[in-house]
Amino acid sequence: MDSLRDWLISEIDSVLNKPNDPPPFIIWCDPDREWRDILLILSAGGAFELWAEEEHELKLRERFFNSSRKPGVIWIPKNQDDLSYSKVFACDAEKIISFSIPEALVEYGLQISSEDINQFRVLLKSHVKEWLDRPKSGWKELNLVKIKETLIDDERFLNVLCSPHREIQTFMGKEQFSVFKRRAVEDFGLPEPGESELEKWRINALACILVTEAAELYPDNPPGRKRQSDPAG
């Protein structure tokens, strides 16, 4: 397999499987907090030990020095240059990883232009989780439209639209809701939904769809124009 999951695990294992004494570890710097969820997925089932708690660097340093050394990954939501208390043990790390998700995808072997990245940068974290196990050849389809459709496909969009009195949380998380809003406006030409006024948005969105359909069916007498009756004969 040549999926992104395989590649990331291979990158991690190439460090952690070294027969060093003391055992090697990786510092994963992530100032944008885009890797934490992905690392949690990768480490599931004991693939490798992961420290990914949101804790102060001082507590992290104390934990490091009070724990027996094991191969693993220590996630820190900071730039490498901004490390403070953790600098003490970061110097002993076998490797410090600090690439962003777009940079990692390029290292993985994908050809992505900076223009494309700017279009869908904010959606990549959610998308990568969906495509972790897709073969590299499948990533050739990576573009803004495909990303939005992967995260919120047409069926899910219609389910939200046509399910009155159901809160958005029953359909998706907060990250996906941002994609849902973009699809509503950019792909369907509907008003932007608000999480707190979803029922009102459903009514307005359905009204927009009905008006648009009526305008297409009756272009000579579209909705909004006062209907003209034939003059009395």
**Contact call for residues 121 and 102 (beta carbons, < 8 A):** yes
* pLDDT tens digits for range 95-131: 999 999 999 999 999 988 888 888 888 888 889 999 9
What does the alpha-carbon distance between residue 174 and residue 183 come to, in Å, rounded to a whole number? 15
Q: What is the mean pLDDT of each run of 10 residues along the chain (233 residues)?
A: 93 94 95 96 92 91 90 95 90 95 94 84 89 91 86 90 85 84 91 88 90 80 53 42
Euclidean distance between CA atoms 199 and 61, whole angstroms = 48
pLDDT of residue 51: 96
**Residue 97 is encoded by which pair of tokens?**
């990883």
Return phi, psi of residue 49, to 5°.
-80, 135
- For position 222, what pLDDT does the model report? 65
What pLDDT does 197 receive? 86
Q: Which domains does the chain have, with CATH numbers?
A: 4-136 (3.40.50), 152-217 (no CATH)
The pTM of this model reads: 0.75
Q: What pLDDT does 25 receive?
A: 96
Q: Average pLDDT, whole number, for the chain?
A: 88
Yes or no: say if 118 and 110 are a contact pair by the CB < 8 Å rule: no
Q: Which pLDDT belongs to residue 233?
A: 40
Based on its alpha-carbon atoms, the radius of gyration of the chain, rounded to whole angstroms, reads 25
pLDDT score recorded for residue 228 = 44
- Own/partner contacts of 191-196, CB < 8 Å, gap of 24 or more, are 193/168, 195/168
CA 192 to chain centre: 20
